[in-house]
Structure 1
C-alpha cells in the first residue's frame, strides 16, 4: 500500500474497519443497506475522481485503486454498488454537454448516486438495447441484462446502439417508469446483496439534454479496452483480505508470507502498466498480469477456506464469502478478449 497519506485512503480505511468489514457477512445475506450507502456518501469517496471545481477530490489514479482495494476487501457488495458511480462521473467530467452542469456537482458531492447500464454494448454486433432518435430525444428498446444497485441508485447511465453503430449514452432516473420495468432482484451465487436486476426497456424516451456522449462503436471499443485488460484493484483487495485471515492461523504463516510476496509483485507490475502513458500499450502483458492476479486471488481464498476447516462451510464464514466474491470477480466486466486470455492461461 503506497498512498496511505491521502485523506480519502484514510477515510476508506475508517469506513472499512468501522462499518463494512464488521457487517460484511450480514450484508452478504441480507443485502446492502441504505445506511451503508449513506456512509459512503458522507465519506466523500463518491467524489474521488470528480473535478475540484465541482466539489470533487480529483484524486490520482493510485488513490482510486487503493480505495477500491480497501472497500472490496472489506465488503465486496458495497464496493460494487458504489464503484458503478465513478464511470458516469468521469464521463460527465469529460463532456461539454448541458447534462454536465445538471448532474456533475450532485454526483461529485454524493447528493446523488449513479449506476451504469451499458455493459451490454460490449456484445456488439449483437444489440441488446437499441437507440432511435425520436421527438428531439431518444427512444430506447431492449433489455439491459445486468443493472446493479436498484433501489439504491438515484440515476443511471444508460447506453443504446443506433442502426448506424453509434453508441448513445444518456442519463435516466433509476426508478420504474413508462418504458422501463425492472425484473425481480436476481439470486446469484455471489453478490446477491448488490441488488442486481435486469431492465426491460419498451419505448423509454429520454430528452436530448439527457445525452452525455455519442460515439461510434469502434471508438467505444478503443476507450473501453484498458478498463478490461488491466488487473482489477478489487481482485487484490479480496486476495489481501483472505491473506489477513491466514495471518491469524499459526500453521498458515508460511503460506500467507509466500502468497503475499507473489501478490505484492503482481500488484506492483500491474499498477505500473495502469500508469503507462499509452493506455493501449502492452496488452498481452496486461492480460497476463490480470490472469495471474486471478490465480493468486483464487489460491488465497482457497487457503483461507482450508485454514478455516469445516467452519468455512457456514454461510457466516468470512473465508467462504471471500471465495464466492472472488468467483464473481473472475467474470465481472469480462469481455471476449479477457475470457480467451484467461481460458488460454488455465489450459497452460
Structure 2
C-alpha cells in the first residue's frame, strides 16, 4: 500500500483526489523514488534521475493540466495536491521542480507568441528543465540591470540565488530596465550556454542546501529581442508578485503533513502526548488550509489581502512549532545531518523567508508579539 503523508489525520488526501490520474502518478514517484532517499538528497543534492522521474509521471505539465471530465476536481486542486505531496516527500526535489514553473508561467502569459510556441512544448514535458532568478526585482535597487542595444538587451549584475544550477537548461531572468521597468527574458544556463552566466563563490546554505542553489554573476549577457518575455512597469510587476505571495503556499502544508507523521511515529517512545499533539496540529493545519485555498478559489487576487497574509503567517508559525515538536520528540539525533526532524526544523525556517514580502514580514512579527 502506498504511504501518503498525513494518512489517518485531517490532512490526509481526500479519497477522490487521491485517485485522480496525475495525483496518483506523482504520489507513486514521491513514495517509491523520492521519500526513501530524501535525507541523502538533502545532503548530497537532487540527482538528475529524480527530475527524469517527475517528467515521466507528467509532473512538468502542471500549468496546462486539466483533470478528466467528470472527475469533480479542479485544476487548482490537482496542482496544490501535487505540490503538497512532493514537498512532503522530498523538499529539495520539490524546490528544484517548482522553480521550473517561473519560466512556464511567464511564457504562458507572454505576448511573445513565437517564443512561447518555441519552448513551451518541451518545458511542459520536462524535455527541457528551467529555473528562475527574478524575486530581487522587488528590491529598491535590483542587482541585475538591462541596457537596450541594437541587437537586444545587455544584462549585467548578480543573481543572489539561482536554484537547480547545473541541472537545468534555461532560466527566466529578471532585470531592471531604464524607466524603472521590469524585464523578463529567457536565457540559456546549461552546459554549452557560454560564459555569460557564471556561478560565484557563496557560503553553503544551512537549509535546502541540496537544491543546487548558487549565486550567479551575469556578465554582459546579450538577450535578443526574440527572447524577451515581458517588459512592464516595475511597480506593476511588484504588485502582482506581492498579491500572489500573500497566499499560503501548498509546500508548507506538505511540510506539516510530514511533521505530523513523524510525531505520530515517535509517540510510542516519546510519549502519548505526541500522538495527541500530532492530531491537533493536523486539525489546525487542515482548518488553515481550507481557509487559504477558499480565498484563492473564491476571491480575486486583490481582495482579502490582509486575511490571506495573516493565514500565511499562521501556517508558517504552525510549521515552525510542529518542527520544534519533532526535534523534541526525536532528541539528540535531530542535530545531525541526515535526521528528518532536524531537516524539518531547517525547512520550517526556510519557508519563513521563501517568497517573503514586507506585509508577510510584518504579519509574522505581529503574530509573534501576540504570543508573548
TM bin, normalised by shorter chain, reads over 0.9
User: Per the alignment, do residues 19 and 51 of structure 1 end up closer, same or farther by CA in structure 2, a change over 3 Å counting?
Assistant: closer
Q: Deviations over 1:97-144 (max 9, x none)?
A: 121011010001110011001111011x31211111112311001111
Structure 1 residues 335-344 or 76-85, which shifts more? 335-344
Deviations 1:258-292 (A, max 9, x none): 11111110111011112133111111111110111
CA-atom RMSD, angstroms?
A: 1.7
Matched, 1:161 2:183: no
Equivalent residue for 1:56?
Answer: none
**Residue segments in structure 2 that go unaligned for 5+ positions in a row:** 1-12, 67-73
Q: Which region of structure 1 is more displaced relative to structure 2, 309-318 or 9-18?
A: 309-318
Number of residue pairs aligned between Structure 1 and Structure 2 = 342
**Partners of 2:19 and 2:236 in 1: CA distance:** 37
Shift of 1:85: 1.0
Give the deviation of 1:185 after TM superposition: 6.4
Contact 1:168–1:213 (8 Å) recurs in 2? yes
Name segments (4+ residues, structure 1) moved above 4 Å.
Answer: none
Tell me, yes or no, if structure 1 residue 260 matches structure 2 residue 290: no
Asked if residue 341 in structure 1 is aligned to residue 358 in structure 2, the reply is no
Instruction: With the length of structure 1 as denominator, give the TM-score of the two structures.
Output: 0.94
Matches within 5 A, 1:1-348: 1-2=13-14, 3-50=17-64, 60-97=75-112, 98-123=114-139, 125-175=140-190, 177-184=194-201, 186-248=203-265, 249-250=267-268, 251=272, 252-348=274-370
Return the alpha-carbon distance in structure 1 between the equivalents of residues 27 and 243 of structure 2.
27
SS of 1:49's equivalent in the other structure is: coil
Quote the offset at 1:51 in angstroms.
Answer: 6.4
The 1:173–1:321 alpha-carbon spacing in structure 2 relative to 1, beyond 3 Å, is same
Distance of 1:168 and 1:316 partners within structure 2: 40
Q: 1:217 to 1:182 in 2, by over 3 A?
A: same
3-state SS of paired residue (2:18): coil
TM-score (norm 2): 0.88
Separation in 1 of the partners of 2:211 and 2:111?
32
Aligned partners of 1:48, 1:79: CA distance in 2, in Å?
Answer: 13
